[in-house]
Amino acid sequence: MGVGTHDARAAVLHALNRNGYMSAATSAASRLRLSRPDFLASPKVLRTEVLGGLVVALALIPEAISFSIIAGVDPSVGLFASFTMAVVISVVGGRKAMISAATGAVALVIAPLNREHGLGYLIAAVILAGVFQVILGSLGVAKLMRFVPRSVMVGFVNALAILIFMAQIPELEDVPWAVYPLVVGGLTLMVLFPKITKAVPAPLVSIIILTVITVAAGIAVPTVGDKGSLPSALPVPGIPDVPLTVETLTLIAPYALAMALVGLMESLMTAKLVDDITDTHSDKTRESIGQGVANIVTGFFGGMGGCAMIGQTMINVKTSGARTRLSTFLAGTFLMALVV
């Protein structure tokens, strides 16, 4: 009886396989397994992604605010940009686990426009920059990155660092004398703390320690509140308050093109860096188009625009060990939850 049953089962399986049913079922099962989100591979992976997103969100808050100050806008504008950029790029971007938000590079480019013409024109330029990035991405500009020498990339990053530092100097003019030793202490912490541990971002540690010192000692220093209020609600979509004329387009186009090019260069350079660290390949064309889409959405939500962030991406990928889109999405979500 057992032998007969075994033979019958074998015959049925053979018939199903011969007619292609077994291969179809196997293929369907394989597709089902492959469609499962990579962050659900194991509880450990999920935990890593969640913690990575939280750490990045905490580190993003001071950076988004400082870049808002460089751009000359209210802190909420930089925070809104970081939120929308991170959430949108987590869906449409071509490099998993890469963090996009408001950046110093973008702030430097658009600061003169905001200073001379106001926030409405800045927002319009962000949207136009996103359109330029979508067009450039569709034309395959990402493929040209392979011809950019490493020395040029290093020089680009170093130049940005110098410009960002120089843009902060005016904030040290006409301030109480107590600010200067606090600045020295903060810089010292940011240099030395990574030698102890890199598990927690040094800028975040510096901000917490200096805040505790100033509050406990009652030291009067300028605060973020002096530059503008933090957001009290989620951003809502809207249209920039600028005249829709050729004159407006002519005015914002140079800033938008500069922002598009700088943003793409920094984003593609960061994507290449993550590729090397994780020994994986990313879709650079999709990333270029995704950056454009994210900036368009960010503009309509009142953000200052942005691109990939080398520092925050390293915290997410190298320090936290995140590898999926979930960490990027949660970084933006946690950021807004922490400041609203």
What is the tens place of the pLDDT at every residue in 99-109? Answer: 999 999 899 99
pLDDT at 295: 98
* Sequence-separated (6 or more) residues with CB below 8 Å from residue 278: 97, 317, 323
Does residue 58 lie within any of the structural domains? yes
Does residue 216 lie within any of the structural domains? no
Mean pLDDT, range 20-39, rounded to an integer: 52
User: And the tokens for 234?
Assistant: 């989620």
Does residue 13 lie within any of the structural domains? no
Whether the predicted pLDDT of 25 surpasses 50? no
Give the least confident one: 32-46, 215-229, 237-251: 32-46
- Cα separation of 102 and 294, whole Å? 11
Does residue 144 lie within any of the structural domains? yes
For residue 100, give the 3-state DSSP assignment: strand
* Sequence-separated (6 or more) residues with CB below 8 Å from residue 182: 210, 213, 214, 219, 221
Is residue 30 very low, low, confident or very high in pLDDT (cuts 50, 70, 90)? Answer: very low
Side chain identity at 247, as an amino acid letter? E
Does residue 321 lie within any of the structural domains? yes
pLDDT at 184: 93
Identify which of 41-55, 220-234, 245-259 has the greatest average pLDDT. 245-259
- Cα separation of 327 and 315, whole Å? 11
Q: How many CB atoms lie within 10 A of CB 123?
A: 28
Number of domains in the chain: 1
pLDDT at 17: 54
Identify which of 31-40, 78-87, 170-179, 208-217 has the greatest average pLDDT. 78-87
* Sequence-separated (6 or more) residues with CB below 8 Å from residue 156: 265, 266, 269
pLDDT at 154: 79
- Cα separation of 213 and 62, whole Å? 17
* Domain extent at residue 102: 38-175+222-339
What digits encode the pLDDT tens for the residues 316-330?
A: 998 888 999 999 999
Mean pLDDT, range 75-86, rounded to an integer: 95
Q: β-strand 307-308 against 100-101: which pairing, if any? A: antiparallel
